[in-house]
Chains A and B, each alone.
Chain A
Amino acid sequence: MNTLPEVPLSRREMLLGLGALVVGAVVPLPGRSGRLLGAEAATGPLVANAFVCIAPDSTVTVLSPNIELGQGPFTGLATLVADELDADWSQMRAAHAPADARLYANPTFGVQGTGGSTSMYVGYESLRKAGAAARALIVAAAAQSWDVPAAEITIERGVVRHAGSGRSGSFGDFVAPAGQLTPPAEPVLKTPDRFIYIGRPLPKLDTRAKTDGSAQYTLDVYRDDMLIAVVAHAPKFGATVASFDDAAARRVRGVVDVRGTDFGVAVYATSTWAALRGRQALAVRWNEAAAELRSTAAIEAEALALVRSRGQVAAERGALDAALAAGHQLIEAEYTFPYLAHAPLEPLDAVIERRGDLIEVWMGSQIQTGDQMVIAQVCGVKPGQVRLNTMLTGGSFGRRAQQGSQFAAEAAAVFMAAGGRRPVKLFWTREDDIRGGFYRPQMVHRLRGAIDAEGRIVAWEQVIAGRSILTGSTFEGAMVNGIDQTMVEGAADLPYAVPNLQVSVHVTKSPVPVLWWRSVGHTHTGYVVETFIDELLERAGKDPIAGRIELLADQPRMAGVLRRVAEISQWDSPPPAGRARGVAVVYSFNSWVAEVAEVSIGPAGEPRVHKVWCAVDCGRAVNPDIVAAQMEGGIGYGLGAGLYGAITLDEGGSVRQSNFHDYRSLRIGEAPEIEVAIMPSAERPTGVGEPGTPPIMPAVANALRRLTGKPARQLPLVQRG
C-alpha cells in the first residue's frame, strides 16, 4: 500500500533542534520571510511563511493550523506543501501551529479551529501557496548565490540544481540567504498534471510515533511540581454545588487541596490515584433547583407529541397537503434517536502552567481561538499571554470543538482555584466523559410520504423535533432565517426530486448540553431520509439503487457514487443465503458517499454486518489511503453508535450509563470488512472526516428490513432490556 519510506514525526520540542522555547517564539509573518527570535542568523531556520519552516538540515516542517485528531491533516497538509516545494517526502515533518487567529483562522468559521471536515478544502489553497512561496524563496536565493538566472534553476525531490553550471544543493544551503528575501505575493501554483504527491498514498507522518509509545498526548504532559486534579461533577445536568465536606478527602495520602469551583469540587493531588481516591472520599450536597429531572423517556414523549403538528418551516415546495390527500399509497413513520456521547478514547484533559506573565496550556484544542480567549478571561490575562500548545489527541469526533469552550474554562478555573501558581493537569475520567453531556441531541422525526397510482413518489412531509445545537451558542450567527441548519441539513435540501415537500422543526429545551457529533445533523437526517426513501421505493416496486438514481437527474455526482457502489458490491447478484443487502447515499460536508451493507441476524439475535462497500466522491483525493481510512473509521464509528449507543436519563435526571460496559462500543469482532472506491475527480478536495458516517446505519437498516420485513425506526437497533 505504501510505496515511500516512512518518515519520523518531529515533535514541536524537537522542531529544528532548538528547544521548545524558541519554537514558541516563532513569529511567522504572512507574505514576508521571518526568523525565529533569538536564533543565530547563520544557524536559524527559514520561516518561509506562517505554514512552512525550513531548517538548516533541510527538514521542512509544516505548521498545521488544524489539530491532528487522527483524521490526517498533518500528512495531508504536508503533502500539499511538499508537492509545490518539490521536496522529498522523507524531509517532511509536521507540527501544530501556535494559537494565533490572525495567521491561522479557518475561513469557514473566522477563528482558528478544526471542524466541518474542512482541513483539505481550506488547505488546498493556503498550504499550496505556502509551499510555492517557500519554493520561490529557495530558487531566488540559489540564483543569487550561484549568480545564474532563476528561470534556469530546477528543484527535484529536494535537490536544487542549475544544469548549465552543474551546481546543486539542498534546501538547507539556502536557508540563510533566503531569509533576506521577500517571497512573491502571488506565487504561481502547479497545474495538476505536474503534481508529484497529491493523489498518491504517501505514508502518514505520525504513524511511527504512534506505534512505539513516543507520541505525546495531553495526558502525557508532566511538568515539574505539577498537581493532578479531578473534579466531582454534578450528577444531574444543571445542578450546582450547595456545600461539601472535604475532611476525609484531605486525609487521603497525596491529596494537597480541595476547592469548590463553578464546575464542581476539584481535588488536587500529587498523583492521579490519590486525586481519584480523594474525590471518592468527598461528600457533596447538590442544589438541583435548575437541574434536568426528567427522564429521556419523558423528553422523548414530549417531542413525539410535538411532531404530530407542523413546526417552523425550513423548506417547502409544491402543494403538500393536496398531494398527500390525492396519494394512492400513504406511508407514515416516526423515528427516535437517543443522546449519544462522543467517547473519544482519550478523555478530556488539559495542563496549565504559569510562567512569568504567560499562561502556558497543553490541550487537544479544536477551537484554539475560543479556548485561548476563555482561558485568558478566567486567568485574568490577555489572550496574547496565553500560549496554547495544541497536542496530538486521542480522538474527538466533535467533542473537543466546544462553542463556549466550557472545558477550557473548567481547566482554567481549576488552575486558578488552587492559587494559579503550581502547574495543574485536569483529568476527566471515562465516567466524567460519559456523564458529562455535550451529547448528540436526542431527536424525533415524523414522516409522511405519498405514492401516486403510477408508482411515483409525489409527497414528502418531515417534521423534526429536538434540541438545537446553535441556539444560544457562540455560533448562533450561523442560523439561517431563525432555523438551526444542523437540525435539518440533509432533509431540508432533500436531494430526491419529490415535487411536493415540506420540512419543519420544533426546538425543545433542556439543561442537558448538546454538541455536534461526527457528521452532526446527518446522523439523524441521513438515517430518516435514506430509510424512508427505501421504504417508499419498495412500495413503488422499484430497485433501491435504480429507483434512487431516477430521482437524482440533476445530481450527477450523487448518482455517480450510487452506480459505483452498485458495481463494487455486485448489487445485481444475490447475497449469500441468510444475508441481505441495503444501500444508502448521503451528501455531507461537500462530499458524496454511497454505502452498501451486507447483513445477517447473528446467533444472539443481533444484526451482524459482514461487509460494507463504500464509494466516495470527495473531489481530488489528496491522499487516497487517508480517504479510505476515514471512510473505514467513519463507518465503524457510525455503526457502533447506531447498533449500541444510547445515553439515557433515569426518572430524576441521572445518566444511567457511566463507562464502556454500559455505553457499548463497536469491537473488532463486530467490525465489518470494508471496501472503498474513490471517484476520480479534478474538483477541489472536500470533506472526508465525517461523510463516511451518515450512510452506514440506513444501509444496515435497509438490509435488515429486507431480512425481517419490519422497518427499524428506533436507534440504537440493539435495545437494552
Chain B
Amino acid sequence: MTIVLNVNGVERTVDVDSDTPLLWVLRDELRLTGTKYGCGIAQCGACTVQIDGRPVRSCVTPVAQVAGQPIVTIEGVTGPEADAVREAWVQHDTPQCGYCQSGQILAAEALLRATPRPTDADIDTAMAGNLCRCATYPRIRQAIKTAARTLEGRRS
C-alpha cells in the first residue's frame, strides 16, 4: 500500500506492506542506512529513531502506524542537543566499531532534551535499551555529561 512518511522534515511516499517495520522502509526503500539492524525484537537499540521527539525502536514499529508523524533519523537529527552530543562523542572518541552509535546518539539527544542535567541513574535508565557490544559505555556516559555541561554553558 502507499504510505506517506515525514522523515527528517521531508515527505516521502513509499509503497510497502503496511506491517513492514519502519527500519526496513528507512533502509531498503529510502536508503537512510544510518539506522541499523541489531536484533529485530527491540532488545538492542541499534535501530533507534525519534518519532515526535521520542526514541522508538524502528525494528518493531509497523510503518503504517507512523504515517504522517515526524520521524527523525541519525542523518536528520539537528539542533543544540544534537550538536552538543556529536561534539562530545567526537571529543571522547566514543565509537569503536560504531555500529550502535546512531542509536546511542538519538537516545542521548532525546535524554538531554527531556532531562538537561541527567544523573547517572537517569543515564542508566534512558540508555538501558541501547546495547554496545564493543562496551563503549564509560565513554557514552562521559560524553553525555560533557554534552550536558556544554549545553548549560551555551544557555547561560
Chain A contact residues, CB within 8 Å of chain B? 1-2, 6, 69-72, 203-204, 206-217, 219-220, 222, 228, 253, 271-273, 343-347, 392-395, 397, 429-430, 625-626, 629, 632-633, 635-637, 639-640, 659-661, 665-669, 671-674
Contacts and interface: CB of A to CB of B under 8 A. Distances in A.
A70 B95 contact: yes
Contact of A272 (B24, B44, B46, B132): B24
B93 A203 contact: yes
A211 B36 contact: no
B64 to A, nearest CB: 13
Interface string B32-64: 111111111101101000000000000000000
Majority DSSP secondary structure for residues of A touching B: loop
A24 B136 CA distance: 33
B41 A661 contact: yes
B93 A2 contact: yes
A17 to B, nearest CB: 22
B31 A70 contact: no
A345 B96 contact: no
Given A2-B93, A394-B36, A395-B133, A674 B75 contact: no
A434 to B, nearest CB: 10
A662 to B, nearest CB: 10
Given A208-B90, A343-B133, A666-B135, A273 B98 contact: no
Interface in B2-40: 16-17, 20-21, 24, 27-29, 31-40
Contacts of A216: 33
B139 to A, nearest CB: 7
Contacts of B148: none
Nearest to A209: B98
A216 B34 CA distance: 8
Given A219-B37, A636-B137, A637-B134, A71 B43 contact: no
B74 A212 contact: yes
B41 to A, nearest CB: 6
Interface string B63-74: 000000000011
A385 B118 CA distance: 54
A114 B112 CA distance: 39
Contact of B131 (A204, A345, A392, A397): A345
A609 to B, nearest CB: 12
Contacts of A673: 138
B95 A207 contact: yes
Contacts of B140: 668
Nearest to B97: A70
A416 B118 CA distance: 53
A101 to B, nearest CB: 25
Contact of A219 (B20, B36, B102, B138): B36
Nearest to A228: B28
B142 to A, nearest CB: 9
Given A212-B75, A668-B140, A395 B99 contact: yes
B152 interface: no
B43 A661 contact: yes
Contact of B96 (A71, A253, A659): A71
A227 to B, nearest CB: 11
A53 to B, nearest CB: 23
Contact of A635 (B101, B135, B139): B135
A668 B99 contact: no
Contacts of A208: 90
A213 B133 contact: no
B134 A220 contact: no
